[in-house]
Chains A and B, each alone.
Chain A
Amino acid sequence: GEDVEQSLFLSVREGDSSVINCTYTDSSSTYLYWYKQEPGAGLQLLTYIFSNMDMKQDQRLTVLLNKKDKHLSLRIADTQTGDSAIYFCAESQGEKLTFGTGTRLTIIP
């Protein structure tokens, strides 16, 4: 993740909104992704956004993209205990994905 940065930790109260932020460096990335990794599990694709979009909403998930600042965010509304996981943003660079360092989301009851 030397090119894609995220905060390592985020704690949120159950029922509140979580906002996970990501900054990337490659302005030519076509797609930007959010993946979720639960403990001991693989990577689950949550959502993605095409680089010519500013926002994408999918149920409780809202992705915002600011291309000028190369900033991507994931908002999870009404955060639940099942949302506890590590969240990775990733940018597509040609054939490969470059991942961020991951943000560990902890839910406070």
Chain B
Amino acid sequence: DTAVSQTPKYLVTQMGNDKSIKCEQNLGHDTMYWYKQDSKKFLKIMFSYNNKELIINETVPNRFSPKSPDKAHLNLHINSLELGDSAVYFCASSRRLDTQYFGPGTRLTVL
């Protein structure tokens, strides 16, 4: 009965590769988010989608491309990975303007 799930939990890859992280929620929410948590535990929003439409894009390099195939899924694709992309990426969901519920996170390590 997982509410917000992400795959994979861990991702280790080489610089320059392209990778995707998947997120699914079964809460019936219409808004989904991606957040990045750096090594100092600082959390910052990257993107938000409402009903499959992009509503927040917070100065994120265009190597990052979110894709929402339907309201229950929000995937994050990253091209040409760089060392600085190493972080924990959290997906979240909510009803619009309501409380956000977070997934378990995906720890990305770029070598």
Contacts and interface: CB of A to CB of B under 8 A. Distances in A.
Contact of A48 (B42, B99, B104, B105): B99
A10 interface: no
Interface of A: 1, 30-31, 33, 35, 37, 41-45, 48, 86, 88, 92, 94-99, 101-102
A44 B4 CA distance: 11
Contact of B56 (A41, A42, A95): A95
Contact of B104 (A41, A92, A94, A101): A41
A43 B40 CA distance: 15
Given A96-B33, A96-B48, A96-B56, A102 B99 contact: no
Given A43-B90, A95-B31, 11 more contacts: A31-B99, A41-B104, A42-B104, A42-B105, A43-B92, A95-B96, A96-B33, A96-B48, A97-B100, A99-B42, A99-B44
20 contacts: A41-B105, A42-B90, A42-B105, A45-B99, A45-B102, A48-B99, A86-B41, A92-B97, A94-B97, A95-B31, A95-B48, A95-B55, A95-B56, A95-B97, A96-B33, A97-B45, A98-B45, A99-B44, A101-B40, A102-B41
A77 B48 CA distance: 35
A92 B95 CA distance: 13
B87 to A, nearest CB: 14
Contacts of A41: 104-105
A43 B44 CA distance: 13
A101 B97 contact: no
A101 B42 contact: yes
Interface centre among A48, A94, A95, by most B CB within 10 Å?
A95
Contact of A45 (B44, B48, B97, B101): B101
Nearest to B41: A102
Nearest to A97: B100
Contacts of B44: 99
